[in-house]
Chain A
Amino acid sequence: MLFFLARRVGVMLVTALCLTFVVFYLTNIPAKLETLAKTQAGSRISDAEVASWLDRNGYNQPMLVRYGEWLGVARGWTRQLDDGSMTGRCYLLTGTTIPGAAPERCGLVQGHWGNSTRFRAPVAEVIGARLGATGMLMLWVLIVMVPMALIVGVLAGMREGSRTDRTLSTFAIASTATPEYVSGVVFIALLASSTVGLSPLLVSWGWIEGPVLFQGNARSALEGITFWNFALPVMTVALYGMGYVARITRASMTEVMTQQYIRTARLKGVSFPSIVLRHALRNALIAPFTVIMLQIPWLLNGVVIVEVLFSYPGFGWTLFEAAANNDIELLLAASVVAVLVVLVTQLISDIGYVWLNPRIRVT
């Protein structure tokens, strides 16, 4: 088991290294550095000013050296200012200008994630705060999605081919087939507009106080989550993931229901609800469990769209902002987080699989 964990962590490190290098390369091609200089020093500065800005801020070294700086294996750049004080990567990160006061290397290895150029704040702070916001969103998404998906899947799968099965399957397929950027917009139009959809009807009947039923913008959820400001983004993400999980649950359930032991139980006269709940369910849940875990990284994709659509500043929104502004160190940190999320969820799914299915062992 320990060996298995160690191997997994090793894979994770190698993946993170490769991915961050790719991201580093793509964000450091000359045109991208020019974008960065222009977002930092003024969008209409001249080419000479761009060159001078890049030079003064340590962007003129070879790419590999700079990647090494970020990792913390190469020495950070330094430059002496006119008044004798020093500046440089490590001086800026530790907030000092006294020559010799800053460490030589300051990268990931030393625990420095760098500074975000877009948000003018330490990357660790930005990522921490934004992951917290996305954590809340994902939590509610899972709370809504998992029970709904399992219930729909089990109900559909316990009697294959029945009317319930066909209805629920259609619903599940439709929800998976609707991407977030479609369902989000449809939800806003239907539920969060004072001129079209449900809200004007409800207002004219006097059922709601404000002009709209739900809020089509989740910014206020940052201060306090309410049902009215958080329902639409949660539903948008959850619906998309739900259909897929429900389909897998249904397939797994149908298969279990055709097993010999289920038939035996029925012949012995066990009631149908009891068969489903006590004999079929645990076995039917093995496949959906893995899928739910694998679904989490996928949902992070959807989170980018949903957070931008509802202007909810979470991890996906940060990723979007960082990419749009070529915020190199923030993008790197975000990719490390993405690798972590993927591999940790896979790890949980593998371990959980072993626990659910005694026939499998991790060795």
Chain B
Amino acid sequence: MTHSKRKATELHRAAKLYARECREGRLSRREFMTRATALGVTAPAAYGLLGLAAPQARAQTPQMGGSLRMQMDIKAQRDPRTWDWSELSNVCRGWLEYLVSYERDGSIQPVLLESWEANEDATEFTLNIRPGVKWNNGDDLTAEHIAHNFERWCDASVEGNSMAGRMSALSEDGKLREGAVEIVDDLTIRLHLSSPDIAIIVNTADYPAAVVHPSFTGDDPVANPIGTGPYRPVSHNTGIGAVIERNPDHTWWNEGNGAWLDRIEFIDLGTDPAAWMAAAEGGEIDMTYQTTGDFVDLFEMIGMPQSEAITSATIAVRFNQTQAPYDNVNVRRALQMAVNNEIVLELGYNDRGTLAENHHVCPIHPEYAEIPGPVFDPAQARSMIEAEGLAGHEFELISIDDDWQAATCDSVAAQIRAAGINIRRTILPGATFWNDWLNYPFSATEWNMRPLGVQVLNLAYRSGEAWNETGFANAEFDTLLAEANGIADADERREIMAQLQQILLDEGVLIQPYWRSLYRNARPNILNAEMHPTFEVRYQHYGLA
């Protein structure tokens, strides 16, 4: 690949610091990869800093041709920047590509960009666009097109445009800030951030950040499939399925490194894994989108081996601090204390994950700081609740009717009950649950992973954020977080992170029992289709052995 030619002397100063930390064992290799590549260091160069050779991307090259049938929900399409489910993006990944991609090893790889560099304090990013990329209508990809996409992402007036929040350092009054995106030449643009934001490049790997052609009107990317990728849609039926085929009229920039399959068929079999199982047994699907719980083993039993992705995806059993009795920190801490996260992991998620510590920062996040974890003391919990005069109060824990989420909440509630505190469980169907997910007094929400620890904190725990479901508003926390957002150096940021994590623990913001590992089952002859930590289905790389 072209980007491996860059010399080590051009590398970002912080990347070398990270490499030293990694060699000294203070930083895991995975963390190092995320951090170094976020600063624009190419993956092979990053491995080089550690004195390692980059792992071979593919152990086995798939054969050309063949078709694949995959179980996945097919939802009605809409403007990519308003996508709220990864499935929506996965259908379009064959023709809509991204600036960069987040890889299974935690690194950020260039896609439509060839390389990028950050300045010392992460306020200016120079993006070099990959030369020779063509849209499937024959146009060349230019810097103007990319600038147009940044403008789209920053437009907060579009309902449900979640990219606007990710691009806040580039926007002003809900629009792209004047001069925030500078077109240097045909293949170079420069981003001028209003405040340091180390996550800006990582954010463009997120699924709503698909790069669209300037002619795209913002409704249906399947009806109007202009993109840079090697595939095109054949049919798309909401709730039923979608068929994608290789585009014979288009030369892909990455030709020879993918687009093995002739045809990919997504089949929507509803939400019941038993139905997927029946379809797999009848030979109607070759792989699942995501398998959970007992079904991971069941699929394995019928000859579809599992692949696992370790992630920082999680479930947040959170309190809404704006509502009584959860406005009382002692109540929140008491309920936390009544719950042993290990038991929740075992009963709620079949031990298919790693233990979490109630502060929503994961050991795989680069800036994770090790601090003393939560205390489990049911007797103390009971007496704290009594001291607050709530001995007779009946708490209520709400969850969606999803298998593992309901089981997790059941196990949380059972432990609270075992501590001698009254609690009732309520399970709501998906259609009604999401209506009010921000405002339930005590409920559980599924959170997908973000590569950097500060990203989730920015989205969910900063005062007044759109997705702040805990009602947590803490000035000290906000100030520290803003500070952390601009610090590229690991140790420095980790120090602040330790304080942030401690504040979240002290305030008893949520019970966050475990980090989920994600699973997928596929027939053994399918290559490169391992589960991805952010649910990406990059079928342009899938192939048959």
Chain A residues packing against B (C-beta within 8 Å): 31, 34-35, 38-46, 49, 52-53, 117-121, 188, 192-195, 210-212, 214-217, 219-220, 222, 229, 308-311, 313, 321, 324-326
Contact = CB atoms under 8 A, between A and B. Distances in A.
A321 B240 CA distance: 11
Contact of B282 (A216, A308, A309): A216
B162 A46 contact: no
Interface of B: 76-78, 82, 84-85, 159-160, 162, 220, 237-241, 267-270, 274-275, 277-279, 281-284, 301-302, 429-432, 434-435, 437, 466-467
Contact of B284 (A34, A38, A193, A215): A215
Contacts of A311: 268-270, 275, 279
Of A43, A192, A193, the most chain B CB neighbours within 10 A belong to A43
Contacts of A49: 159-160
B284 A220 contact: yes
Pairs of residues from A and B, 5 with the lowest C-beta to C-beta distance, nearest first: A42-B160, A216-B278, A215-B282, A217-B279, A49-B159
13 contacts: A35-B431, A42-B84, A43-B434, A44-B434, A120-B220, A188-B274, A192-B281, A210-B283, A211-B302, A311-B268, A311-B275, A313-B240, A326-B431
A148 B536 CA distance: 50
A42 B84 CA distance: 6
Contacts of A45: 159-160
A137 B167 CA distance: 51
A35 B431 CA distance: 7
Nearest to B267: A219
Given A217-B275, A311-B270, A313-B240, A38 B434 contact: yes
B239 A44 contact: no
Contact of B76 (A120, A214, A217): A120
Contact of B270 (A31, A38, A40, A308): A308
B239 to A, nearest CB: 5
A119 to B, nearest CB: 5
B90 to A, nearest CB: 17
B435 A229 contact: no
A42 B283 contact: no
A41 B431 contact: no
A121 B78 CA distance: 13
Given A42-B159, A43-B85, A195-B301, 13 more contacts: A31-B435, A35-B435, A41-B160, A117-B76, A120-B76, A121-B238, A188-B274, A194-B281, A210-B283, A212-B282, A216-B282, A217-B278, A219-B267
A38 B237 CA distance: 20
A229 B159 contact: no
A216 B429 CA distance: 26
B238 A217 contact: no
B438 to A, nearest CB: 8
A95 to B, nearest CB: 13
B281 A313 contact: no
Contacts of B270: 308, 311
A194 B162 CA distance: 44
A38 B429 CA distance: 14
B282 A217 contact: yes
Nearest to B156: A49
Given A42-B82, A44-B437, A118-B239, A212 B281 contact: yes
Given A42-B82, A44-B437, A325 B431 contact: yes
B435 A119 contact: no
A38 B78 CA distance: 13
Contacts of B77: 120
A41 B239 contact: no
A45 B165 CA distance: 12
Of B275, B282, B432, B437, the most chain A CB neighbours within 10 A belong to B282
Nearest to B77: A120
Contacts of B434: 35, 38, 43-44
Nearest to B469: A44
Given A215-B282, A311-B269, A52 B84 contact: no
Given A41-B159, A52-B159, A229 B282 contact: yes
B460 to A, nearest CB: 11
